């Protein structure tokens, strides 16, 4: 099966190179794509510079694909991978214990997969995850927050085998004048909706990270 993917960049990339990605991206080193053309356009530009949307097809037959949004996994699996690769500002007293608990109960060998699909931790979304780690929002609020702003999923090639299956189809110019305002608007919208979400009154049954640790809750306790 072939999937059409887009990669936003400052340049044309005809042949993605295995092992060249930044190690501190969401899922570590890899080639980060999306199925959304306009979203790739937003990734490609900044305030002062245009970019390119590179188009590819990926033959997924036989590839080992990790879909973090499937029922087999939960938001804490996604969070653990983020903790492995991104730097968090942990302000709560139990921050180190929280990381240890997530490592012991929600870590797995995600690098054994060829492709990872899941949420992208854009600036605003990264701050939502950090709030959860600091015990200021519940796990239910975190799940809702990650759907704000229609950021969409990212598709990340992480194995050499996956890189051998991707074929360049062409590129399109992405103009800052068009895509940078929509990029800013998407982030602003997510933050505003998040503030509205935080203003809603607390409801019984909300589960925070401190409770998860205190009760030694596992995946089956949280997601049944």
Summarize pLDDT for 163-185 with one digit per residue, the tens. Answer: 999 999 999 999 999 999 998 88
Q: Tens of pLDDT along 110-154?
A: 999 999 999 877 666 777 888 888 888 889 888 888 777 666 689
The reported pLDDT for the residue numbered 31 is 96
The reported pLDDT for the residue numbered 60 is 95
Higher pLDDT residue, 186 or 176?
176
Answer yes or no: pTM beyond 0.95: no
Higher pLDDT residue, 144 or 158?
158
The reported pLDDT for the residue numbered 155 is 95
The reported pLDDT for the residue numbered 153 is 80
Closest CA to 33 of 51, 60, 56: 56
Q: Tens of pLDDT along 90-120?
A: 766 777 788 889 989 999 999 999 999 998 7
Q: Tens of pLDDT along 37-55?
A: 999 999 999 999 999 999 9
What's the chain's average pLDDT? 88
Residue 65 banded pLDDT, cuts 50, 70, 90: very high
Q: Under a CB-based contact definition with an 8 Å cutoff, are residues 9 and 38 in contact?
A: no
| Nearest-angstrom CA–CA distance, 161 and 116 | 13
The reported pLDDT for the residue numbered 98 is 86
Averaged pLDDT, 9-24: 89
Q: Are strands 65-67 and 31-33 parallel, antiparallel or unpaired?
A: unpaired
Residue 5 scores a pLDDT above 70: yes
Question: What would the two tokens of residue 26 be?
Answer: 């969401």
Higher pLDDT residue, 214 or 221?
214
Report DSSP state, residue 7: E
Higher pLDDT residue, 123 or 155?
155
- The answer for 43, left when phi > 0, alpha when psi is -120 to 50, beta otherwise, is alpha
């Amino acid at each position: 099966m072939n999937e059409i993917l887009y990669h936003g960049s400052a340049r044309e990339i005809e042949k993605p190179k295995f092992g060249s990605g930044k190690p501190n991206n969401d899922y570590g080193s890899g080639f980060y794509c999306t199925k959304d053309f306009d979203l790739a356009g937003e990734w490609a530009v900044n305030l002062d510079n245009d970019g390119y949307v590179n188009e590819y097809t990926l033959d997924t037959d036989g590839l080992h694909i990790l879909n973090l949004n499937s029922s087999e996994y939960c938001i804490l699996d996604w969070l653990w991978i983020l903790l492995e690769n991104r730097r968090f500002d942990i302000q709560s007293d139990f921050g180190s214990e929280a990381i240890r608990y997530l490592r012991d109960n929600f870590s797995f060998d995600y690098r054994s997969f060829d492709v990872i699909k899941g949420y992208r931790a854009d600036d605003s979304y990264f701050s939502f995850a950090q709030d959860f780690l600091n015990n200021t929002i519940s796990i239910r609020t975190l799940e809702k927050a990650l759907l704000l702003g229609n950021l969409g999923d990212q598709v990340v090639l992480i194995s050499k085998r996956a890189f051998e299956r991707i074929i360049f189809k062409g590129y399109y110019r992405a103009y800052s004048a068009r895509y940078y305002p929509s990029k800013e608007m998407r982030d602003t919208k997510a933050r505003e909706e998040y503030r509205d979400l935080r203003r809603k009154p607390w409801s019984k049954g909300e589960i925070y990270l401190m409770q998860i640790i205190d009760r030694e809750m596992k995946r089956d306790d949280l997601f049944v």
